[in-house]
Amino acid sequence: MPIHNRLDDEAASRLWHITVRQDLPTYSLDDVQKHNAPEQGIWITFGLGVYDVTEFVPNHPGGDKIMMAAGSAIDSFWAIYQQHNTLEVLELLEGFRIGNLQKDAVAANVEEELGSPWAQEPKRNALLKPASERPFNAETPLALLGEHFYTPNELFYVRNHLPVPVIQAEQYELELDVEAGAAAGQPTRTLTLAELKALPKHSVTAAIMCGGNRRSEMTRVKPVKGLSWGPGAVGNAKWSGARLCDVLQAMGVQPNEDLHVLFEGADLDPTSHPYGASIPLSKALDPRGDVVLAYEMNEEPLNRDHGYPIRVIVPGSVGARNVKWLTRIIVADHESDSHWQQNDYKGFSPSTDWDTVDFKKAQAIQAMPVTSAICTPLPNERVKPDAEGFITVRGYAWSGGGRRIERVDLTSDGGKSWHVAQLEQETVPDGRHYGWSLWTARLPLSAEQRKQEGLEIWAKAVDSAYNVQPEAFEHIWNLRGVLANAYHKVPVKLS
Ligand SMILES: Nc1nc2c(c(=O)[nH]1)N[C@H]1C(S)=C(S)[C@@H](COP(=O)(O)O)O[C@H]1N2
Ligand SMILES: [Mo]
């Protein structure tokens, strides 16, 4: 699969050299070493990438110095000549990419000697099947997702844009800056992990869902750019930590509809930009918004993939705003200028394409629309109606903005008859209902249906504002494949 289908554009261009390109062949160190002079061609490696730079050598701004690296790795040179660490240079280099360096060669060459950013990735549960290895992205197997109201931490989907940073709890500090509003201009404050834990502890049940959850269904209508997520890029957990509104109030921050709260993570791209996102100050200051600086997930310390030691939980908002490995909070008069706030995670009309798209014209996704998915049976699974002629269907449903799920409807006959599922959900007030609902439905099959070889089960959820999922993806298609919340339609075979 070409890299540009798997990763976000700009983010990917910074990551290419540390990502395996599935569309290109693999070379050994020997192969590379043979290409060390103009007659043989000049190859170099950078991170995991193998590049043929024969034609570029005469134009290298640093002149002949580049020949020191001919047939070998440029990593150690670039560590010294930092002018290479720009988006432009990384993009230029990627244009010369011809392959990937063999994994064992990388270990010797890059990861051990030079300390690759990937050398310290956490161990993951083998049930998490990666959609991409570097950065690590994996969804929860669907059949397991619907089994636990609180998704087990080690099975919770992982969406990383960059290598997982290594953070020592004792060294951890959260920086707080107020750049705008009534409290602007005060000196930067910092909070240690111990200081955060000393603040009143608040817990909230919240589902986190990637903006690209169920993208793989939308892409069938027409290809979209992004990781090909099934319906498992979501999980539900109890998050505990200090309330962001308490921290901001202690700094004298006053309500102001024009301000934003910006978050930065400790995960840096090769040009030293952190992962970042922002939310409106009104959400951050609202005690009913339940925004938490979380150090616990389901009563355990956060694990590294999910943001150890601190991540912000923005209940009801798209996954991308829940910044992990949080190192800095800024109150400002503008949104985060990060790629993920400005040029990604936005919705567009189905007629907007890559030639006409203007990311400045669309609002960054915050609250997510109502959605649901069938977890069992799995697509094309063989199901056997019980003695009374019913089949049992299970799944999840969720809506953003704290809207409780009101109902989940199922049909096995293309919408001629609908059956209401039983819901399992927390009893918390609507508007503040941030956790998901699991549901179970028993679908009666008619005598005629039971003679068929198979049928399609459809699920649609209705939230407390009576918002309902659209029937099909055609009319909500968008080029990034986000907000993919059409009815979930699952074909099954009958036995
Ligand atoms: N620092 C940081 N925070 C991040 C990300 C990231 O790459 N870096 N990914 C975001 C996205 S797009 C999603 S969907 C969620 C995923 O959270 P999870 O990996 O804990 O499931 O984290 C968000 N927070
Ligand atoms: Mo995401």
Render pLDDT for 307-327 as a digit per residue (tens, 0 to 9). Answer: 999 999 999 999 999 999 999
Question: Based on the structure, what is the number of domains in the chain?
Answer: 3
Does 159 qualify as catalytic in the annotation?
yes
Does 375 qualify as catalytic in the annotation?
no
- Counting ligands in written order, the one closest to the CA of 324 is 1
- Under a CB-based contact definition with an 8 Å cutoff, are residues 347 and 478 in contact? yes
Computed over every residue of the chain, the mean pLDDT equals: 91
Nearest one of 327, 477, 317, 494 to 412, comparing CA atoms: 494
Strand order in the sheet with 437-444: 371-376, 390-398, 437-444, 422-424
Task: Kindly tell me the sign of the dihedral angle through the C-alpha atoms of 181, 187, 190, 195.
Answer: negative
pLDDT of residue 47: 84
Quick one: 179 and 316 in the same domain?
A: yes
Residues within a 6 A CB radius of ligand 1: 156-162, 208, 210, 265, 267, 275, 305-306, 319-320, 322-325
Q: Which tens digit of pLDDT belongs to each residue from 395-413?
A: 999 999 999 999 999 999 9
Does a structural domain hold residue 124?
A: no
> CA dihedral defined by 311, 313, 317, 319, rounded to 10 degrees?
40
Q: Looking at ligand 1, which atom is closest to the CA of residue 266? A: 1
Q: Which tens digit of pLDDT belongs to each residue from 472-490?
A: 999 999 999 999 999 999 9
Nearest one of 487, 381, 392, 485 to 439, comparing CA atoms: 392
- Counting ligands in written order, the one closest to the CA of 265 is 1
Pocket test for ligand 1, best of 121, 156, 161 (most atoms within 8 A of CB): 161
- The percentage of residues in the chain with a pLDDT greater than 70, rounded to a whole number, is 93
Amino acid in the structure at residue 195: E
Does 345 qualify as catalytic in the annotation?
yes
Q: Which tens digit of pLDDT belongs to each residue from 226-277?
A: 889 999 999 999 999 999 999 999 999 999 999 999 999 999 877 778 999 9
pLDDT of residue 495: 87
- Listed in sequence order, the residues at least 6 apart from 37 whose beta carbon sits closer than 8 Å to its beta carbon are 70, 71
Q: What is the CATH number of the domain that holds 80?
A: 3.10.120.10
Residue with the two structure tokens 């270990």:
107
Q: Looking at ligand 1, which atom is closest to the CA of residue 157? A: 21
Catalytic residue among 51, 275, 345, 396: 345
Helix (H) or strand (E) holding 363: none
pLDDT over threshold 60, residue 116: yes
Burial degree of 339 (CB within 10 A; 0-12, 13-18, 19+): buried
pLDDT of residue 111: 53
**Chosen domain end from 330, 361, 392:** 361
Q: Which of 108-112, 155-159, 301-305, 434-438 has the lowest mean pLDDT?
A: 108-112
Ligand 1 center from residue 187 Cα (angstroms)? 29
**Chosen domain end from 361, 394, 429:** 361
Q: Looking at ligand 1, which atom is closest to the CA of residue 159? A: 19
Q: Which of 45-54, 83-92, 128-137, 313-322 has the lowest mean pLDDT?
A: 83-92
Quick one: 333 and 432 in the same domain?
A: no
Take atom 5 of ligand 1 and give the residue whose Cα is closest: 160
Catalytic residue among 14, 97, 159, 404: 159
Catalytic residue among 14, 210, 243, 321: 210
Name the band, by pLDDT with cuts 50, 70 and 90, for residue 107: low
Quick one: 298 and 379 in the same domain?
A: no
pLDDT over threshold 50, residue 7: no
Name the band, by pLDDT with cuts 50, 70 and 90, for residue 3: very low
CA 122: distance to chain centroid?
A: 17
Q: Which two tokens stand for residue 155?
A: 């099975």
Name the residue range of residue 101's domain.
Answer: 3-118
| Cis amide prior to 61 (ω within 30 degrees) | no
Pocket test for ligand 1, best of 121, 128, 150, 160 (most atoms within 8 A of CB): 160
- Listed in sequence order, the residues at least 6 apart from 406 whose beta carbon sits closer than 8 Å to its beta carbon are 462, 463, 464, 466
Q: Which tens digit of pLDDT belongs to each residue from 266-305?
A: 998 777 789 999 999 999 999 999 999 999 999 999 999 9
pLDDT of residue 219: 96
Does a structural domain hold residue 378?
A: yes
Q: For residues 168 and 182, what is the distance between their CA atoms, to the nearest angstrom?
A: 34
Amino acid in the structure at residue 365: I
Does a structural domain hold residue 262?
A: yes
Burial degree of 353 (CB within 10 A; 0-12, 13-18, 19+): exposed
Ligand 1 center from residue 439 Cα (angstroms)? 26
Q: For residues 50 and 28, what is the distance between their CA atoms, to the nearest angstrom?
A: 10
pLDDT over threshold 70, residue 106: no
Ligand 1 center from residue 318 Cα (angstroms)? 10
Amino acid in the structure at residue 460: K
- The percentage of residues in the chain with a pLDDT greater than 90, rounded to a whole number, is 78
Quick one: 183 and 67 in the same domain?
A: no
Name the band, by pLDDT with cuts 50, 70 and 90, for residue 80: low
Ligand 2 center from residue 212 Cα (angstroms)? 6
Ligand 2 center from residue 227 Cα (angstroms)? 10
Does a structural domain hold residue 193?
A: yes
Angle at 371 between CA 366 and CA 376, to 5 degrees: 140
Q: Which tens digit of pLDDT belongs to each residue from 349-399?
A: 999 999 999 999 999 999 999 999 999 999 999 999 999 999 999 999 999
Nearest one of 310, 1, 275, 75 to 159, comparing CA atoms: 275
Q: Looking at ligand 1, which atom is closest to the CA of residue 274? A: 1
* More confident call, 475 vs 76: 475
Quick one: 40 and 180 in the same domain?
A: no
Q: Judge if pTM exceeds 0.85.
A: no
pLDDT over threshold 60, residue 1: no
- For the stretch 35-41, contacts whose Cβ atoms lie closer than 8 Å and that sit 24 or more positions apart, written own/partner, are 35/70, 35/71, 36/70, 36/71, 36/72, 37/70, 37/71
Partner residues linked to 441 by β-bridges: 393
Ligand 1 center from residue 474 Cα (angstroms)? 28
- Counting ligands in written order, the one closest to the CA of 138 is 1
pLDDT over threshold 60, residue 445: yes
- Under a CB-based contact definition with an 8 Å cutoff, are residues 93 and 47 in contact? no
